[in-house]
Amino acid sequence: MRLLITGGAGFIGSNLVRLALAEGVDVTVLDDLSTGYREYLDGLDVRFSEASVLDAAAVADALVNVDSVIHLARSGAFRAASRTRSGRTPRTRPAPSYCSRRCAGPG
């Protein structure tokens, strides 16, 4: 199995890369290193593409022979950009109703 992890050089992504490799999964990482670190992947047997998920050609290339994608890339500017003039970050919108029906755990 081959897995593409966007944002794989980030905090969560790099830990996920390690878990996937330990399970024998072939891993491709697509990360623009805007907030991540190439060093997080040092010594790991991954195919690494330093590019943005906004780069359609790079994404198409990274998807070759990939079975599944885990999308963790996010811009560190997101939180800052979502702040209101008062400096507060708006509350997260409630989960859509389909989630409360389909995503709830057992019971």
Ligand X SMILES: NC(=O)c1ccc[n+]([C@@H]2O[C@H](COP(=O)([O-])OP(=O)(O)OC[C@H]3O[C@@H](n4cnc5c(N)ncnc54)[C@H](O)[C@@H]3O)[C@@H](O)[C@H]2O)c1
Residue 20 binds ligand X, judged by CB under 6 A: no
Residue 21 binds ligand X, judged by CB under 6 A: no
Residue 33 binds ligand X, judged by CB under 6 A: yes
Neighbouring residues of 46: CB distance < 8 A, sequence distance ≥ 6:
8, 17, 21, 27, 28, 29
Q: How many residues of this chain bind ligand X (CB under 6 A)? A: 22
Quick one: which of 20, 62, 66, 64 has its CA closest to 44?
A: 20
- Touching ligand X, residues 81-100 (CB under 6 A): none
Q: Is 42 helix (H, G, I), strand (E, B) or coil?
A: coil
Of the candidate spans 20-28, 73-81, 88-96, 99-107, the one that interacts with ligand X by CB under 6 A turns out to be 73-81
Distance CA 70, CA 72 (A): 6
Distance CA 82, CA 48 (A): 30
Residue 85 Cβ vs ligand X, minimum distance, rounded to whole Å: 23
Residue 77 Cβ vs ligand X, minimum distance, rounded to whole Å: 9
The contact set with ligand X (CB under 6 A) reads 6-7, 9-13, 30-36, 52-54, 72-76
